[in-house]
Structure 1
């Protein structure tokens, strides 16, 4: 009975850790490998894992003539919290290294998920506003446009904070966010201010796209988890459809009121000077990390990698190969660099990768397509280009990590037994050094 109790306690700890990782956007392969690493570190062998979008399952059967021990845990949907992810990741590394016991790890995980944040909620809202400002800078926005983008991002965060309290589904939250951003832009276009409101709308679209898990869905599809990938992809497409519906509704309302569409010029949000664009990308990426509760040391890495990715995009895009290929090359660069340097900042690569690709999200293509549709023209090509860019970003990041993996093969021998490169989990470190 004592041995059975130990098995259940170990499985419960592994499931709790897997829940934090999955809800933070980690791929199913990373979650599976981490949970199995936890059970092995606790001395429980012969464990199999099953990961879906809403459930985690661990099954332990030491021999064929003994009944299996089975535990299932439902995954609670919650906002991405990189502070919790980093602490849980460090706890797993300490457990695997033998620095702490199972009971200590259980207490530490319970403390991490139950305590609040040192960062005030109003500061997080300001972080989202700064992110909107950074996106506006990458599009060549004037000071007034940057100010409006800041206000729109803060307003969107307000809707994302208010609606979940009333159990409003995520689709309608995205619709509300897209409508709020567009309404602010339409209102501004009705004034005598000289500005292009399309940049404000684009900044709002990028902010909403940042919460869509297209990268996790692509990673699951590429690493052999089709069920989880399908569920994540449907969720991502539904949330993206919500953004499109909200922005489209805002443009339609503006048209009915006779406001906005005359000053909304599809494609008018061109790129700024290279220096301003790169700085804007660094600001947007770091602000997204800040709003997701990442520590300050992570924001330094995020800003540098985000600026690098934007620079690669500009360099490749100027060579006439197309923006989709430019986005793919930038994503490959981001994936490779994050895999090599994230350990130096003592964070999982996932914490750097996701914010770094935020400035590359295809918000402009989505806006162009919707603006053309609102004017009675064909905008399907622009929307299809946005989808292709999103998939190129997700696949490029993963390819970059595959390309970088041989450079650290000796430091990551455990990964030879995994389905692919890890964005989170104990195999990134040896003896807790982060190198």
Structure 2
């Protein structure tokens, strides 16, 4: 029997394309690109991963995008959008490789986000303003930044109890190290080698001062000479990410901080070995040792150091005096509580709590992000000096090294958690905004709370002022 003939296939209707229209795709891509570029600038300026994620989501929401996701890693930002389960997802990824703190740009972007989410500007105008911010460059000449770092080094030398010679050495070392690191950065040498060279140069300066007839403590001179190298290590962002649910980014930032501090240790060790070869007797060194000055001197030194650091990070001039005042009060609280018998960790936590509480109203009045006030105000507390001490003692005294590392961790956690708790207590979160805010992130150190809140506020102002 011949085989039965196969039945012809039934005609099928052409499948509908699940891809969105090109015009819609372009609009979505433009919104995602704007959010990613804003997130890149915030992350490179030291903002926490929670703040960056919330800012990206606020930008997307304000531009009319729904159903998106935003993910923040230490070196990568990702944003995706899928209109329905049947449609393919649109994904954009942006690498964050270049990091340079510029609080002037951070402030301008903060204003941009607020204007976008309250409806004052649209996406096209926001993109144009962002292009101008990125392409304009720094707001002040580079030599002024070097001078400000020298002033910061001198201010911290005052906090650590140094006399006029130690303060002068700290200021000179900070400026020389900055000039050298700038030349190395132009040749694109990794940051670790810049830290090594900076530690070596700072130690050689201290060795030269110790070789003179002047009666100074070599340990104190070395500690104050490396202040500028340790001040830039970002512990606040690392602890903030750990507390707000971004452990991977927190781990990466902590590792970066330890590698940078290890570079300083290597440079200082090389400088000490070179001093032995040159026949300079430094006596018994106590690396990372310091003694706190009298409270009035500490307050003045802390205010100078905080204001100078914010100036070196291109903060707006209007913010310098308020930052100095807030830092002075925080240092006074720290010194007062420490003299009452509290440990260094609790003293740091209470001072940082006050700093966080004060940063929100100060930032509102001066029209800057609260991150600028907190980051500059924490500078005089120097948790990096304890980490430097712990890493230096690893090869000679394991128990002292462990104690120093535990102390460093306690100081870093106390400062960061205290400042963030202050932000939680300071920011007025209403019941109807908490629900949306909980989906975005924790306390806002950069950017507005929510899109809906600012638009409601704008609507109320328009209703109360019909003219």
TM-score range, shorter chain: over 0.9
**Residue 361 of structure 2 corresponds to which residue in structure 1?**
340
**Residue 79 of structure 1 corresponds to which residue in structure 2?**
100
Question: Aligned with 1:426: secondary structure?
Answer: coil
Query: Are 2:424 and 1:424 aligned?
Result: no
Query: Are 2:144 and 1:123 aligned?
Result: yes
**The 10-residue stretch of structure 1 (256-265 or 218-227) with the greater mean CA deviation from structure 2:** 256-265
For residues 47-71 of structure 1, the C-alpha deviation after alignment (integer angstroms, 9 at most, x for no partner) is: 1011111111110111111111111
CA gap of 1:79–1:267, structure 2 versus 1, over 3 A, is: closer
State the 1:115 CA deviation. Answer: 1.1
Are the counterparts in 2 of residues 371 and 379 from structure 1 also a CA contact under 8 Å? no
Are the counterparts in 2 of residues 84 and 112 from structure 1 also a CA contact under 8 Å? yes
State the 1:387 CA deviation. Answer: 3.2
Where in structure 2 are the equivalents of 1:103-122 lying within 5 Å? 103-122=124-143
**Residues of 1 paired with 2:288 and 2:197: CA distance?**
24
**Residues of 2 paired with 1:363 and 1:236: CA distance?**
9
For residues 366-424 of structure 1, the C-alpha deviation after alignment (integer angstroms, 9 at most, x for no partner) is: 5655776798796412343223322322222222222333x554797553443310100
**Residue 22 of structure 1 corresponds to which residue in structure 2?**
43
Query: Are 2:405 and 1:393 aligned?
Result: no
**Residue 406 of structure 2 corresponds to which residue in structure 1?**
384
Q: TM-score, normalised by structure 2?
A: 0.86
Are the counterparts in 1 of residues 173 and 226 from structure 2 also a CA contact under 8 Å? no
**Residue 325 of structure 1 corresponds to which residue in structure 2?**
346
Instruction: Mark the structure with the bigger radius of gyration.
Output: 2
**Residue 402 of structure 1 corresponds to which residue in structure 2?**
424
Count of equivalent residues = 432
Where in structure 2 are the equivalents of 1:213-252 lying within 5 Å? 213-252=234-273
State the 1:147 CA deviation. Answer: 1.3
CA gap of 1:56–1:275, structure 2 versus 1, over 3 A, is: same
Are the counterparts in 2 of residues 60 and 70 from structure 1 also a CA contact under 8 Å? yes
**Residue 185 of structure 1 corresponds to which residue in structure 2?**
206
**Residues of 1 paired with 2:227 and 2:109: CA distance?**
29
CA gap of 1:261–1:152, structure 2 versus 1, over 3 A, is: same
**Residue 306 of structure 1 corresponds to which residue in structure 2?**
327
**Residues of 2 paired with 1:197 and 1:133: CA distance?**
17
CA RMSD of aligned residues (A): 2.4
**Residues of 2 paired with 1:371 and 1:38: CA distance?**
45
**The 10-residue stretch of structure 1 (361-370 or 341-350) with the greater mean CA deviation from structure 2:** 361-370
Query: Are 2:122 and 1:101 aligned?
Result: yes
**Residues of 2 paired with 1:426 and 1:319: CA distance?**
39
Are the counterparts in 2 of residues 189 and 263 from structure 1 also a CA contact under 8 Å? no
Alignment equivalent of 1:166, drawn from 169, 172, 187: 187
**Residues of 2 paired with 1:128 and 1:257: CA distance?**
30
**Residues of 1 paired with 2:221 and 2:318: CA distance?**
30
Structure 2, unaligned stretches of length 5 or more?
Answer: 1-21, 459-467
**The 10-residue stretch of structure 1 (64-73 or 379-388) with the greater mean CA deviation from structure 2:** 379-388
Query: Are 2:337 and 1:316 aligned?
Result: yes
Alignment equivalent of 1:353, drawn from 367, 370, 374: 374
**The 10-residue stretch of structure 1 (323-332 or 19-28) with the greater mean CA deviation from structure 2:** 323-332
Structure 1, unaligned stretches of length 5 or more?
Answer: none
Query: Are 2:228 and 1:203 aligned?
Result: no
State the 1:198 CA deviation. Answer: 3.2
**Residues of 1 paired with 2:202 and 2:343: CA distance?**
28
Query: Are 2:437 and 1:415 aligned?
Result: yes
Alignment equivalent of 2:299, drawn from 236, 256, 278: 278
**Residue 71 of structure 2 corresponds to which residue in structure 1?**
50
Q: TM-score, normalised by structure 1?
A: 0.92
**Residue 88 of structure 1 corresponds to which residue in structure 2?**
109
State the 1:22 CA deviation. Answer: 0.4
**Residues of 2 paired with 1:37 and 1:70: CA distance?**
18
